[in-house]
Structure 1
Amino acid sequence: MAEDEPLWEEELKKNLVEINDVFVKEQKGDKTSVPPEQLYHYTNIAGLQGIIQSSRLWATNTPFLNDAGEHRYACSLLRDLLKERRSQTNNEDLLTFYNEIEASLNAINLGVYTHFIACLCTERDLLSQWRAYGAGGGYAIGFDPLKFNGHTYAQNPQRQYELHRVIYEPTQQKSFLRKFLKRYEDFIEIGIDSKVNDPERYIDLCSIYFVSDVDDWLISFKNSAFAEENEWRLIVRRRKGENRLFESVRFRAGKGTLVPYCELDVTNSTVAAPAPTLPITEIMIGPSPAPDLANEGIQMFMQAMGYNDIPVIHSSIPLR
């Protein structure tokens, strides 16, 4: 407890953290949140080489993802919900809460956290993915996500990263946001009593915690036009400004910008040190002008890196 922090504030912060923890556990218990046996990461030849040699996946800071519009889409859903809620209440505390949330939605990174994402896909041979990630020759690395180091809560009690299924259906997205918002609304409607000597601070804390926690879920929402991807995301969150953030973040050259990213250790949790390996199930070579050479190069590279008997297969999509 911070010095001079009133008891009600300490209790409120504890309860607000619990809201998100309970929500996370509920989502983990949903059958649709159990990952499939294989997930694929699309990349180019340089990306594949870097992943195998480092035994790490690169997670990109969310504002620098290829589709900058997807976060705006998710925020628009929340804005619509806040507009709906305003029309349904005269409670001044709730109206203040809604206004503070909406004011935060203009930020590049919401709340007190910034997020990094590594994208995975259930489909191993999608033309849209080859076009997006396979310039100059693309590859899809198949992983067994249940063997990712830190996949289980016991291995990863601090939730250094989460594996989230992307939600595409607007009805499901809106239902999700309503349920999450309702838990905070209940705290505001019944929580401000005589023990709270600073109601404005109470509402401010609720909005700060809501915005920070809801962003963990907003970055798992995408427009239904992309539903064929069946995407899953490895999500890392770091508190803005803390030293740990800059110790773990690296930078690579992008299109006119430096792109922040961090490396994720997803080595096989069933393989003991000193030689943990990535839980790779297979590698697919995308449409290629020289498929036989590509196959020979990958086979030799994988064996040189200690990955024996990894199936290498070819896309069924013809090169154009």
Structure 2
Amino acid sequence: MKLTDIKPEKIDTEHDLDYLISKLKSKKKIKSLYHYTNIYGVEGILKRQEFWLSDANFLNDKNELWYTYNLCEEVISDICGKSKDNFLDHFNYAIGSEDLKKPVYVMSLTTNSDSNLLWSNYTNNDGYNIILDPKNLFNELKLDNYNLLKFPVIYDKKVQKKIIVELMSKFIGVTMFFQSKSDKPDLDLSDLSYEWGFQDGVLALLVKTFSIFFKDSCFSQEEEYRIALVPKSWKSQYLDYSCRVSNGTFIPYLTVPIHDKKAIKGLTIGPKNNMDIAKDGILKFLEVNGYDHLDENSVNKSKIPYRY
């Protein structure tokens, strides 16, 4: 796409928001999701019947949030050529808005049921993974100001770039439209500025949303699936959050209830956990906490042979 191909025009904020977010949907049917954690994580999640979604600004690798921003700048440069500086400056202004600093809350899952990498990274090989039903997970959650999004992470840069080209072409079109209007002396600049800011805010919020679901291909082994609470508007009110301690710092998070225990389909015991009583113990724990739909067939051992 070239700059001459783009029409200076406003966007239909509601339609374009839904249309572009729909690009994150996977054609692959996902029957189960997996959450790798240690035994204390299992106890907390199943006993309290809740998950914690962490503020994305406090993720382990904060650079992943900039991955999408950099991709947007790359696409703007490709489209605009010598005129890129004007659009890049406005893009950075739009995504740097104070209102857009409101947090997105994220929980990371995976579609990989028995991953050596994930056992090692998240459970020290002796933890568990909780098997989840994506159909029943958080379906009852309703928030006025936030959207609940559930999508697999996209690692393919070609796919990412195709979506970003669509988004940035809209951003460029909006910028061209309002810049041309701002040159006319008979217009009320305060009204124009407000409408322009609103349109930029919607587009910047989409960039922020994609930054949650786009990652560099070097992370593809994780086969990550993310659940995110994203503001419906950059004017959305802050949600009440708590803080937990992790690796010597405080991490803001939201508590999200599991309304239906049947969202828990079972557990897998990590490859290093060779205790004969591990399965018996988890079955007793499930029984005492009311997970009556789970039986001994719902708890299995990892098939990865652990080498000492």
Q: TM > 0.5 between the two?
A: yes
Cα offset, 1:97, TM superposition: 4.6
Can you list the C-alpha shifts for 1:207-238, whole angstroms capped at 9, x where unaligned? 33322221111111111122122211110135
Of residues 93, 106, 121, the one that matches 1:117 is 106
Cα offset, 1:31, TM superposition: 4.8
**Structure 1 residue aligned with 2:3:** none
Can you list the C-alpha shifts for 1:155-190, whole angstroms capped at 9, x where unaligned? 778654110221000111111111112223333444
Cα offset, 1:145, TM superposition: 0.5
Partners of 2:244 and 2:29 in 1: how far apart?
30
**Structure 1 residue aligned with 2:250:** 258
Partners of 1:114 and 1:196 in 2: how far apart?
35
Partners of 1:47 and 1:168 in 2: how far apart?
28
Within-5 A mapping of 1:126-145? 126-135=115-124, 137-145=126-134
Partners of 1:138 and 1:251 in 2: how far apart?
24
Cα offset, 1:255, TM superposition: 1.8
Of residues 6, 9, 13, the one that matches 1:16 is 13
| RMSD (Å) for aligned C-alpha atoms | 3.1
**Structure 1 residue aligned with 2:23:** 27
1:214 aligns with 2:204: no
Of residues 249, 256, 269, the one that matches 1:285 is 269
Within-5 A mapping of 1:217-296? 217-238=210-231, 244-245=238-239, 247=240, 249-268=241-260, 277-296=261-280
Cα offset, 1:204, TM superposition: 3.9
1:197 aligns with 2:188: yes
**Structure 1 residue aligned with 2:6:** none
TM-score (structure 1 length as normaliser): 0.78
Count of equivalent residues: 288
Task: Give identity over the alignment, percent.
Answer: 23
Cα gap change, 1:73 to 1:201, in 2 (>3 Å):
same
Of residues 74, 84, 89, the one that matches 1:80 is 74
- 1:317 is matched by which residue type in structure 2? I
Cα offset, 1:119, TM superposition: 0.8
TM-score (structure 2 length as normaliser): 0.81
Cα gap change, 1:241 to 1:21, in 2 (>3 Å):
closer
Cα gap change, 1:23 to 1:150, in 2 (>3 Å):
same
SS of 1:131's equivalent? helix
